[in-house]
Amino acid sequence: MTIVVLGLGQDFRRDDGIGHAIAREVAARAAPAIRVHAADGEPTRLLDAWDGAELAVLIDSVVCDCPRAGTVRRYDSTAVTLSSVRATSTHGLGLVAALELAALLDRLPRRWVLYTVEVADVGFGCGLSPAAARAIEPVVSAVLAEVSGG
């Protein structure tokens, strides 16, 4: 089974780096057969990264109107429709739009799981806020369980 983990974000946009931070931790702990990437969210690169995957686990930061930084949500393609995913990405087109594009082009992974982490600080600079940083370990554990079939 081909499994891909994609952490989206920008390390130089404070909490937007959460996806990359989680991807680094997953890469350090996951089986070597798991493909783990840090991505910037550009749609065509995402389609290429999950090409042929039977499972793609995606991690992204989201900005909400009234953010509760560190709040994690899980979406599974077997249980939700893309239109029900309410996530405002910090990236231009956004991950949901990339998934919609992949569906139109018949380039979706067989199954995808999306973890979003609410963030409040996406200003320029390095380092995660304490609230975002607290979300790393629970999401890493959840992703490792996803990719191990548990």
Q: What percent of the chain stands above pLDDT 70? A: 87
Q: Domain span at residue 66?
A: 3-147
**CATH at residue 33:** 3.40.50.1450
Closest CA to 91 of 20, 41, 37, 21: 41
pLDDT number for residue 23: 97
Find, among 114, 103, 121, the residue nearest to 43 by Cα. Answer: 103
- Quote the pTM value: 0.87
pLDDT > 90? residue 88: no
Please give the single-letter amino acid code of residue 146: E
Question: Cβ distance 113 to 77 under 8 Å?
Answer: yes
Give per-residue pLDDT as tens, 119-139: 988 889 999 999 999 999 999
Q: Residue 4's beta-bridge partner residues?
A: 35, 56
Strand-pair partners of 75: 114
pLDDT at 63: 82
Most confident option among 30-39, 56-65, 77-86, 87-96? 30-39
pLDDT at 85: 57
Number of domains in the chain: 1
Give pLDDT tens digits for 16-66. 999 999 999 999 999 999 999 998 877 888 888 898 999 999 999 988 777
Phi, psi of 27, deg, nearest 5: -60, -35
